[in-house]
């Protein structure tokens, strides 16, 4: 089970995630977020865990020029688009940064997966589908890290695994519910930020360890 600890803000937290067996860490470059890191701090964190873990840069409605600059400067492996970016942004990023993976964050609410169906259809016809889709909960005024769970049953029943990119489940996942979420939805990976924090943006080492252990236990 691919596991990502998102909103990492320090070298210690990044190294702890590596030690606990996380697959990836998320570095948030969306300035309004309490989990945002500067480019300099992102470079420091990424450099400390280079070749040990996948580094994912999280961006919200940023220009492709700025995303490409940060990816190059920080040395990121993967881009996560978590705003309202149109499919054309994926195509532009692939032209600028060949070989860099793209995860498309998608917030799901009562409207269901119909908008995602249209989005992925346009991607296939134009720029190609993202490498993965990260499903989060839709909360008005919040781009992510709300602590609200996504609609598990809706995702389980509606996500077409045979035709769509790999599914990563996020939204309100904690050490206490991640195994249940994996059983319910059967994603390829899971992602958490607020679910392993003692306060907004502050990671708890015990919770990080417990989350990864709980997610990995399902594999067995």
Least confident of 27-31, 60-64, 66-70, 215-219: 215-219
Render pLDDT for 106-155 as a digit per residue (tens, 0 to 9).
Answer: 999 878 899 999 999 999 999 899 999 999 986 655 655 556 788 899 99
Separate counts of helices (H) and strands (E) for the chain: 8, 10
For 57, phi and psi rounded to 5 degrees?
-95, 125
**Domain membership of residue 66 as a residue range:** 2-217
CA–CA distance, 162 with 172 (Å, rounded to integer):
26
Q: Which of 57, 71, 69 is nearest to 29 (CA)?
A: 57
Render pLDDT for 13-57 as a digit per residue (tens, 0 to 9).
Answer: 999 999 999 999 999 999 999 999 999 999 999 999 989 999 999
Which CATH number is 156's domain given? Answer: 3.20.20.70
Domain count, the chain: 1
**C-beta of residue 193 within 8 angstroms of C-beta of residue 145:** yes
Percent of the chain with pLDDT over 70: 95
| pLDDT at residue 220 greater than cutoff 70 | no
Which pLDDT score, from 0 to 100, does residue 141 have?
58
């Amino acid at each position: 089970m691919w596991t990502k600890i998102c909103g990492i803000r320090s070298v210690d937290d990044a190294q702890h995630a590596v030690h606990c067996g996380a697959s990836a860490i998320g570095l948030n470059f969306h300035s309004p977020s309490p989990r945002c890191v500067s480019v300099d701090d992102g470079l420091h964190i990424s450099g400390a865990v280079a070749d040990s873990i996948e580094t994912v840069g999280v961006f919200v409605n940023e220009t492709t020029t700025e995303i490409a600059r940060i990816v190059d400067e920080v040395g990121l492996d993967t881009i996560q688009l978590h705003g309202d970016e149109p499919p054309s942004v994926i195509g532009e990023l692939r032209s600028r940064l060949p070989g860099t993976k793209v995860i498309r964050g998608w917030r799901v609410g009562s409207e269901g997966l119909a908008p995602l169906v249209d989005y992925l259809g346009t991607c296939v016809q134009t720029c190609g589908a993202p490498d993965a889709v990260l499903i989060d909960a839709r909360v008005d005024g919040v781009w992510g890290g709300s602590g609200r769970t996504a609609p598990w049953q809706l995702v389980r029943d509606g996500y077409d695994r045979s035709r769509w990119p790999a599914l990563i489940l996020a939204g309100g996942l904690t050490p206490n519910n991640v195994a249940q979420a994996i059983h319910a939805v059967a994603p390829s990976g899971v992602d958490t930020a607020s679910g392993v924090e003692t306060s907004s943006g502050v990671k708890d080492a015990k919770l990080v360890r417990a989350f990864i252990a709980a997610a990995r236990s399902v594999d067995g």
